[in-house]
Structure 1
Amino acid sequence: MIYAIMQLIGGLILAVGWIPQIIQILRTKSVKDLNIKTFLFLVTGIALMEVYAVHIALGGVGFAFLITNSISLLIMLTILGCILRYRKES
């Protein structure tokens, strides 16, 4: 149980750490210094881990991993969407 709590806290910290970047993008409407390839790799990696997270959660374990990975995927997709939205305006 303690490891699930540690994973949940650690995963949330890692996911929430990207929120200042999203705020900065929305405030400045600029993504000129962000590399789209980096975020494509991150989204691909997290999406693959999401498949694994669903698999282990269906087995009755790994719900903390599923929760934090899902949040990370949504945040990365948000940043990727911002890059696609604002890259031509930069």
Structure 2
Amino acid sequence: MHAMNVTQARAKLFQLIANVNFNSEPITLTNSKGKNAVLIGEDDWNAIQETLYLNSIPGMYDSLKSGIETPLSECVSEKDVEW
């Protein structure tokens, strides 16, 4: 993860925002008081939030793992699912 101080970041904020969104690589923003922050793209932030939410549901991890391990030949086609 790349790091830079807030003064440097302020001078090129628009470019940093473009970079974190394009590269999906967060940037640590440092300050002299040791209280740092992390700049990440919104899509990455949303993915983190979704992962945390799904992991907070009891049994969800095991259910997802089981689904991933199920052979496609045993899966039901979406056309056959009645909504």
TM-score between the two structures when normalised by the length of structure 2:
0.30
Identify, as 1 or 2, the structure richer in strand. 2
**Which one has the bigger helix percentage?**
1
Q: Which has the higher relative contact order, 1 or 2, with Cα contacts under 8 A spaced 6 or more apart? A: 1
With structure 1 as the length reference, what TM-score do the two structures score?
Answer: 0.29
Is the radius of gyration larger for structure 1 or structure 2? 2
